[in-house]
Amino acid sequence: MTNFLCKILFFTAITGSSWCFRNDSSPEENRNIPVIAKYFGTKGRYEEVNPYLIRNILAVNRSSLQPPSPQCREIHLTAIIRHGTRYPTAKNVKKMQKLYKLVQSSARGEDCWLHEILTQWTMWYTEDMDGRLVQKGVEDLKHLAVRLSKLFPTIISEEKLRGGLIKFITSSKHRCVNSTLSFKAGLTEMWAITDMEFQHAVNDALMRFFDKCTKFVRDVDNNPSALSEMDKFTQGPEMVRVQQKIADRLNVSYHLITYDMVEAAFYLCAYEFAIKTVNSPWCRLFDEIDGQVMEYALDLKQFWKRGYGYDINSKSSCILFHDVFSRLDKAVNEHNSGQAVNEAVTVQVGHAETLLPLLTLLGFFKDSETLTSTNYASQRERSFRTSRMLPYAANLVLVLFDCGGRDIRLQPLVNEQPVVFPGLADRQESMPLYEDVKRQYAELLNGCDFETVCELFKPAEP
């Protein structure tokens, strides 16, 4: 009787009938969106950051850009973009397979969602997927290209693309190269360009600087104690409660549900949603409070490994920071001297690990209080929230405007939303003067030498 009822309930759930009550969908009443979707951290969809895209994936809001004068026009744009939606890494696939085997062998219960996992859902993730870009990731970058061209039509234009004024740089990782190809395809398909191809450069020194920074690799990346705050939180009362609730839902012994198992279940929900837009039965293992606890654990990891936790995390991006400002300076100098700007647009595709250290170096999303294992409750309204900062296809866009009379201004956007440079929030202008921005970062511009901070040429011991 139970199996028959579950089949009826499952059928009615997916067909939209009211027979099957679900408590795992979002407050917006969209049954396809898990209630925990906005807590997926770096595994989240871009659409959760900008929900209006759910209705129209090509929607833009030009009114959000408020230049001080109607005569302001774009002269250069730099975009640093994370790759699109990808498959899980081999490491995470192994964790997911281990959880799946445990549920298959030990879970018991009468719930519909559990019956679906046990009888209908199959483990389709394989280790050889290992972070490859999925079709949704291709679409992420194509759509982003179209939206940016709609936001800044005079500079991301067919004329400039054909004229070789739009440059593309990428990390060597296949998901980044394929994301770069997808961004280019978004432009060429929009303008029906079939008679030309556009090259890209692979530059890991810029887009994978974290691999090259000796001090970061030694002191943080390969140092197990660097993530001690995350480790303490995953063993603390908030996470233990999440583990117990999941064990209760599966009707298994508490000792079987480790943090790795909880993380695997969270990722199964996240990947099913990001890749296939499916509200997976795995999502029913979590309620919204569980999602918030999981997000904080993952934010602790990013905070201490790539963000404000250690100074070297952000300083490792000095090489990219200087590259960005040298491009901006070059564009300003060319423009002010009456020359055409040789590189009107620069599109650089990398990783979450590329973007977060740079955002940190620039001072964005910094809270007054450090994220630790013991202040979860007081950090509910924190700015440092990777679900908002670093979804798939996350981006930092810097746009130079000429507002007349050499009045050059710089507008930053994060995930297509205008933001304010830290330290310049008290200025009246929505777009600060470029020279004011340079003064704000003068210490970094005059220092922050990659080879020095990363100890690339540390002198030999006497």
> Whose CA is closest to 204, among 88, 323, 313?
323
Which residues are CB-neighbours of 36 under 8 A, at least 6 positions away? 24, 266, 269, 283, 286, 287, 288, 290, 291, 294
The structure tokens 């989240």 sit at 44
How many angstroms separate the CA atoms of 49 and 394, rounded? 9
DSSP 307-343: STTSHHHHHTTHHHHHHHHHHHHHHHHHHHTTPPPS-
> Whose CA is closest to 210, among 7, 354, 32?
354
The structure tokens 């001080």 sit at 68
DSSP 38-105: GG-GGGS-HHHHSTHHHH-TT---GGG---SSTT-EEEEEEEEEE---BPPPHHHHHHHHHHHHHHHH
- State the distance between the two ends of the chain, measured CA to CA, in whole angstroms: 80
How many angstroms separate the CA atoms of 72 and 215, rounded? 43
Q: Which of 76, 83, 115, 200 is catalytic?
A: 83
Which residues are CB-neighbours of 239 under 8 A, at least 6 positions away? 233, 259, 262, 293, 297
Spell out the long-range contacts of 416-421 with Cβ–Cβ below 8 A and sequence spacing 24 or more: 416/50, 416/60, 416/147, 416/148, 416/151, 417/50, 417/64, 418/64, 418/65, 418/66, 419/364, 421/362, 421/363
Phi, psi of 222 (to 5 degrees): -100, 15
The verdict on whether 83 is a catalytic residue reads: yes
How many angstroms separate the CA atoms of 393 and 280, rounded? 22
> Three-class SS of residue 350?
strand
Contact status, residue 314 vs residue 360, Cβ threshold 8 Å? yes
Question: Given strand 345-350, what is the order of strands in its sheet?
Answer: 201-202, 166-170, 345-350, 73-82, 395-402, 408-414, 417-418
CA distances from residue 276 to 134, 295, 326 in whole angstroms, order as listed = 10, 21, 40
How many angstroms separate the CA atoms of 187 and 61, rounded? 19
The residue type of 147 is R
Residues in the chain: 462
Burial 346-362 (b: 16+ CB within 10 A, else e): bbbbbbbbbbbbbbbbb
Catalytic residues, by residue number, are 83
